[in-house]
Structure 1
Amino acid sequence: MPSVSHRMVRAALTAALVAGSTAAVLGVPGPARAVDLTTTLPIASFGDIVVNPESRLIFISDPVGGKLITTDYAGVVKKTTINLPGIAGLAFDADGGEVYAARPDAKEISVFKKDGSPTQNFTASGNAKPVSLAVAGGRVWFGEADGGIGRLDPGGDEPDLTPDVVTTGLDATPVLIGEGDLLAAADPSATPGAVAVVNVAAGTPAVVSAPVGAGQAKALAFSPDGDRLLVAGSEGLARALKPADVSTLQNYTAAADNNAVAVGSTGAVAVGTSKAVSVFAPGSATATKQFTVKTPGVLQPGSLAWEPGGPRLFGVSGEAGRFDLQIFGDPAKLVTKVTLTAPAKLELGRTATLAGSFAAPIPAGLPVVITRKDAAGSRRVSPNVVPANGQFTITDKPARSGTVTYTVAFAGNADYSPATVTKSFAVGTTKPTTLALARGGSGVLAYGKTVSLTARLGSTHSNRVVEIWADPFGGDQVNRLVRRATANKQGVVTATFKVTRNTTFSAVFAGDAFTPARTVKTTVPVRTSVTTSISRSYKVAKIGGVSYHHLRKTVDPYITTKSPAVPGRSVYLQLEYFNGQKWKVWQAGYFGINEYGNLYNELSGTHTAGVRYRIRAIYLYAKSGDTFNATTYGNYQYFTFTK
């Protein structure tokens, strides 16, 4: 359960507001182009803030209100979980994508899913009361009010909140931050400020601590690569430390009293005071940009959080009765995205309505260019500026048939990147078409015959594709596509198919924007294959021009019948004899064929020499066990007996 490289946990949490006059802040070279957007939050106090990059949600705890809210990157509340009195520190687990919340009043650490839904609670069996949180070394670490640091192993056999696992000498609830196997802690009330760094990979945590300045260390953050630990606090404390020995790597020129720090994915550092935020480019000791807290309240301690992998910088400011989420941005431009929904088609003479929106929070009033292009040319349509809520509607009445294209273009400015979206749809009049399907030949087809098929499509708006399908009778056969092709200039599509069963053929036209779909069908009856053969004869010779099998009267003829193997199929065998004037039925009946399509019979008994016989097999529609084929009469086999 590795931690993420951005700041995950904040200072010791309290509902009290930062009071006092605004501290002096550093002047910024040149005018600041801040994307100063704010939205009011439904909270009574601020506890902590983390950002989940997977769900793109911001989690904010409210100790006084006893709730956890999740908002999107514009500050719109997506979920609220109540009945969490005293909820305090938060931590994000990048491995499971879950957010952990400290609940000291309940002696619990609660877990929330990516969307803010509660999933489980870990309750201390002893007296541990977690206040601040961090994730490091695959475990959750918590700070207590007396300065102790405890541990929770969520994946352990018996997960419990174990207090006082790390000894740092701190006297108050520590600020905690985790990165990889490193855990950093500071006492926000101690003067001079001191920071302890703990390697929690080993069984016994190894602590490295050192003083970091005369002021109080109020906020901590790791750089994305974990090579720097950022510390911010009072008396101008703003510096980068080397985690291995807590030595100073760099000092930042910051305000006198700092209460928040965050590091972006590019390595840019943001340091916050009660009324301003200064941004330092990677490696720079002097701020390159500065933002002002716009709301009446002040920036809350530990309330800065950077959008993981993105340009936005979030902060919570407020005073008694009102708290706001402010999007400060950063020196990079905010990525803008505009979406547009258009109808799939439009009847000529009707009015088109298209809905659009800007996905990123963009100040109202910035120019936007919307154009319509059709066969008559291009022209502008309204609106001309970004509306107050970022949502807009285009209503327009195209005057010509064909394709019409709408383009929404936002040019961007110093704070926002350009964005363009294009949507096209067809304009025309709905008209039905004709479709016919003809087969080659007529009547019942022989087994294994190849049938030719011709589909003919009438006029359409745009689509000229026709599909020809074949669906042989029987549940063991599937409807299959024979051919899919574009009709020629005469509207014709042809195909061929070898038939072995009664088969329904379909010609399918899927339709287009202004031509309804059509399907036509024709069913072709098909004979089956049914044959009979006789063995054990000693010769085949003609009698009256007909070939007869000649058998000794002491030999029983062996009769084999073959037909396609169909489960449950029978054939009707008809044995006849010649009485000197005509053929008469001697024996007849239905006999089932085996799984290989064969039927074997042996005509046993006393045979009379000179009597002529004939036998044939017949498949009878609906009487031979199925309706897969048309009635089919097999050829007669003739035989006689001799002495």
Structure 2
Amino acid sequence: MRISRVAIATTVLAGATAAGFGLTTGTALADSDEKLPITTFGDIAVDAVHHRVFVSDPTSGKIVSTNYQGHEATAVTGLAGVDGLALSADSNVLYAAVSGGHRIAAIATDTLTETASYPVGDTVAIRDVVGPISGKLWFSTIGGNVGTGTIGSVDLATSAVAVHDARADGVGLYTTPMISTGAGAPGLVVLTDASTTSGDSVVYDVSSGAADLKLAAEVFGEFTSDVAISGDGADLIQAGYNGSHRIAISDGTKTAAFTSLNHFGGVEVAADGRVALSLRGGSHDVYVFQPGATTPKLTFALPSVAGSYNRPEVVGRGLAWEPGGSRIFAVAQGDGTENNYWLYTLNDSDPVEPDPTTASPSPSTSTPSPGPSGTSSPEPLRPTIWLTAPATATRGQALTITGSINANMPLPAGKELALWRHDMETTSSPSLDGVTTTDANGEFRFASTPPVGGRVIYDVVFKGDEQYLPATASAVVQVSRTTPGLTLDKNKTVNAYGTTVTFTATLGATYKNRVVEIWADPYGADQGNRLLKRATVNSAGKVSAGFKLTRNTTLTARFAGDARYAPRTVTSVAYTKVAVNTKITRHYRTKKIGSVTYYVVRTTKDPHFITTMTAYPNRFHRLVIQRYKNGKWTAFQGATLGLDKYGVSEAWITGYYPAGQRFRVRAEYGNSPYGDKINATTYGSWKYYTYAK
């Protein structure tokens, strides 16, 4: 368990004195005092594909992008009042709720440029955004009066805006709510009033493209800081000033959760169901719970800021899991200055690439919208389509989609419906997969054999007629794809410092895509993961890239997948030694004893050792001295020494030693309990010395 602390003031390590040694050492510096360049916090989003973290600043009207270590900060500006953030499933687009512009901005994550804008109307307030779900972005809004907080949507295909009428459901939140969703129930969204003591939450199912009320939960008397959906999609997890609760989405049953703890600030649930909770007041820790557990498996204590006695605490909504990974990102505040923020990376381990096929919206019903009115002839009825489809299917094998269509009563037999298929190979226009008609009960059945794997969306379309308006409903099926063979060589090799090593990835059989990327992520590097090469493999299925090794480095080979073969990622770790040399001074000559060269030191002098090693903040090493006695080398003295910022340490051995005694000395990296693990264990070469009168 590790905490990568970024944007925290430097830690200074002073020298120490070991028995028999007089030690001179410089200071070793940690990361620089670099705060997040924001004045207020809105929301956080994590891009596991490009290894970036996005933080919105409503007051400054910008989104700050950093790497996983909080460095390389760049900003997208001109977004007045930007607050909520949502990342597309493929991590290619970041959607931002821009309250000052009454719009949602679409930003390309690779170039950080705005590529599209979706106005919601000059009179429509907007605070938060999630999605896309069922082809729409869903945002939180409020009408002209308090108590009318609700949900709205923007259709990405048509830019059509719709604001849900909360009064039709008999609910309405007091202020503009937060909005969130979860991997455990990708078709559900939660609106939460975090500004009043009521702490009400409303759950809608939007998988059909309309907002269907599932739950209106009243949490009276408790400020709610954050809400998340549990990993199994069955409960809300509410965090607030009076503890945390689970609220069953099925019936609103409320039970206390994590009862030994209280005063929570934020909650986030990973795709596998792990729950991260941040505390406020007294303890500023972050806890991680396994699914269903009430005792935390991991606890992260945020360190205090240098120059301050205060420990930062995670701000509300300041937690975010790395999609598909184990990292938790936390935005914290609290060194005594209101507008100082820092980014912490918790459980900072090698990244695990997310599988883009694991999350998909659940099929559900479509909600009818108002029909035309004001005509003298009978108004056409708006029907509703209900669908039943398998959640998963096997590519190339038949699946069945069934359903019914009615408008207060089943439509008569013979009404024609069409099945359209959207998949990876029909992105520009869907494929007509079949036509059928209703039976006497308004029921229908389609058979489809999906030729393409991955996320497949089926649309059942009724065109309408003089009696009935058009209707559409959608279902999402995850269709299997074959796992391709992919390897990356040089795993667990130990390499000399500064060596340029060629890494080769080998890709097995695929359908159309033959492109492989090779990435390098040096341990502790501020630059983060970097792309070494992206190329089509050769006829043998191989692609290679060279990289100069100065630290232990995780190499990653990525195949993005295609219509029949799933994405795959493999890694290798190349261990890298440090460059190390120990020099003996204060001698007056050298001589050979046998084939070995010795430095000769007067018995009245103290040998002086200067060790030079690859520099890294807070680096230590061991200096080991052995004595030749009774025909063999035996342990004599040793000490743990700090290196200065240039990677240099100095030491002397004091005392009187008779002429003729023989010693040898070397520096060792990786054997100190205080040392870092940025490089592989390295043993310097022995240097020999003896005494003479």
Structure number with greater Rg is 1
Question: What is the TM-score when the length of structure 2 is the normalising length?
Answer: 0.45
Structure having greater relative contact order (Cα 8 Å, sep ≥ 6): 2
Question: What is the TM-score when the length of structure 1 is the normalising length?
Answer: 0.48
